[in-house]
Amino acid sequence: MTRTRKVLAVPALVVSVWACSAGKAGGPRVVTIAPGPNAQTETQTALIKARAGDVIQFAEGSYDFTMGLSLTVSGVTVRGRGRDKTVLSFKNQNAGSEGLLVTANGFTLEDLSVVDTKGDAVKVSGADGVTFRRVAARWSGEPSEKNGGYGLYPVQCKNVLIEDCLASGASDAGIYVGQSTNAVIRRCRAEGNVAGIESENSTGVDIYENEATGNAGGLLVFDLPDLPVKKGGRIRVFRNTVTANNHANFAPKGNIVALVPPGTGLMIMAADQVEVFDNTVQDNGTTNLSLVSYFATGKPIKDKEYDPYPEGIFIHGNRFSGGGASPQGQLGTMLMALVGTPVPDIVWDGAVNMDKVRGRAHGPESRVWIKDNGSAGFANVHWLEADPNKLAQARAKVERDLAAHAGALPALPAVILP
């Protein structure tokens, strides 16, 4: 869930020597930073003095930062020598809310690791053109709600590419795209986070060829109220491997992801125009795929512009197995009471906008379509009508027949980055 943080100002540090190699006068430069006691000062100075086209190059080694870093200059690349060779450690961070905060267009971060930040590892806000490539964001030690919330965290951005990255230990989401437009997350691995990979209130997102395993929730597509950017959609989730996401949920209380039950593979909440296809989803203990409205959270809705229903959902051609054997959390307990174990591979809470139905505006493009998922089980549990005190009646309303969902929607368009 997107949070608003106060960002501590980073002072303009001054160094006597600023080594760089320059091309033509006034042209792009390569600024090299080496490990050592002056690395903090040299790095922030390089970020302050940078100009468009510059590359800030970290040499191989481990760097110990005590303050968060910030960049406000567009067109800058920050690069290491490999995510296992260049490690920016913030274990002793005592100032700043992020490891690196970027508020500039055309930003690229590649070939390094950012570890043990006080807050989010790398946050990019309000930028057009963001690339994370071969970057790791991780927290060491035992999972803790005191870990930073987000690993790679572009928010309110355009044209985002996150590829070949790794995230572990985040107390919210390891790899995240929020309130953004035109984004691709591909070939990444998320392990040991509360949420492995998440798209939230974003429009035009392709999430493919990733691996999400060992998280509380593997891959989430959410649309939430009370955020500046609303009504995301056109999300494609395909060719991912989402397995054994049975980690304990260690999110701070009050965060929306704290409600995600351990054992969640894929979860779609209140999002529209979502196509899920050609994924391998298995061994997620609560449910392999859950499709829910915002009402499933039990939280009140005060945002008058918010649409809490998932609509235009097409789930097809996936491979499901081994899920639902050990449901966890409030959702898991209720599912187990309604449908027993194993919980079916695909569970829908059944919430439909009745105003649209009565007005005959709930057409095929707004419905839920499910087909060609092998032997995957299905249950529409009619969550809003289920009374825990009248379980026999609630069980009688559960629908397992997919006949009503056997149609199809046109394929969503691919995201094309400039």
CATH number at residue 244: 2.160.20
What is d(CA 220, CA 270) in angstroms, rounded to the nearest whole number?
11
pLDDT tier at 162 (50, 70, 90 boundaries)?
very high
Predicted confidence (pLDDT) at residue 18 exceeds the cutoff of 70 = no
Q: Is residue 248 part of a domain?
A: yes
Q: What is the C-alpha end-to-end distance of the chain, expressed in Å? A: 28
Tell me the CA distances in angstroms from 313 to 127, 141, 272, one per residue in order. Answer: 29, 39, 7
Report if residue 60 sits inside a domain: no
Could you tell me which residues come within 8 angstroms of residue 205 by beta carbon, excluding any fewer than 6 positions away? 177, 180, 183, 184, 185, 199, 232, 234, 235, 236, 415
Asked, for residue 180, whether it belongs to a domain, the answer is yes
- CA neighbours closer than 13 Å in the CB half-sphere of residue 380: 16
- Tell me how far apart the alpha carbons of residues 233 and 47 are, in angstroms, rounded to a whole number: 35
pTM over 0.85: yes
Residue 305 resides in a domain: yes
pLDDT (0 to 100) of residue 126: 98
Beta-strand ranges (E) seen in 72-127 are 77-79, 86-89, 95-102, 107-115, 120-125
Return the pLDDT at 19. 44
- Edge-first strand listing for the sheet containing 346-348: 67-71, 95-102, 120-125, 150-155, 173-178, 195-200, 217-222, 264-269, 287-292, 346-348, 378-380
Distance (Å, whole) CA 383 – CA 196: 26
Under a CB-based contact definition with an 8 Å cutoff, are residues 46 and 31 in contact?
A: yes
Answer yes or no: is pLDDT of 263 > 80: yes
Least confident piece of the model among 103-117, 152-166, 272-286, 343-357? 343-357
Please tell me the distance from the alpha carbon of residue 293 to that of residue 347, in angstroms, as a whole number.
12
Structure tokens at 187: 């070939």
Helices (H), 329-403: 329-339, 354-358, 391-397
Average pLDDT over residues 157-184: 98
Q: For residue 113, what are its two tokens?
A: 């690791």
- Give dist(CA 412, CA 358) in Å, integer: 27
d(CA 110, CA 16): 28
More confident residue, 30 or 1: 30
Total residue length of the chain:
418
Q: Exposed/middle/buried for 400, CB within 10 Å: 0-12, 13-18, 19+?
A: exposed
| Residue 302 covered by a domain | yes
Q: What's the pLDDT at 359?
A: 60
The answer as to whether 58 is a domain residue is no
In a domain, 400, yes or no: yes
Q: Is residue 207 part of a domain?
A: yes
> Do residues 124 and 91 make contact, with C-beta atoms less than 8 angstroms apart?
no
Q: What is the share, in percent, of the chain residues with pLDDT greater than 90?
A: 82
The reported pLDDT for the residue numbered 361 is 65
Contact assessment for residue 83 and residue 136, using Cβ atoms and an 8 Å cutoff: yes
The predicted pLDDT at position 219 comes to 98
Spatial CA neighbour of 246 closest among 300, 186, 287: 287
Number of domains in the chain: 1
Its domain, for residue 280, covers 119-405
CA 301 – CA 354 distance, rounded (Å): 17
- Residue 235 vs residues 123, 183, 268: alpha-carbon distances, Å: 22, 9, 10
Residues in a beta bridge with 373: none
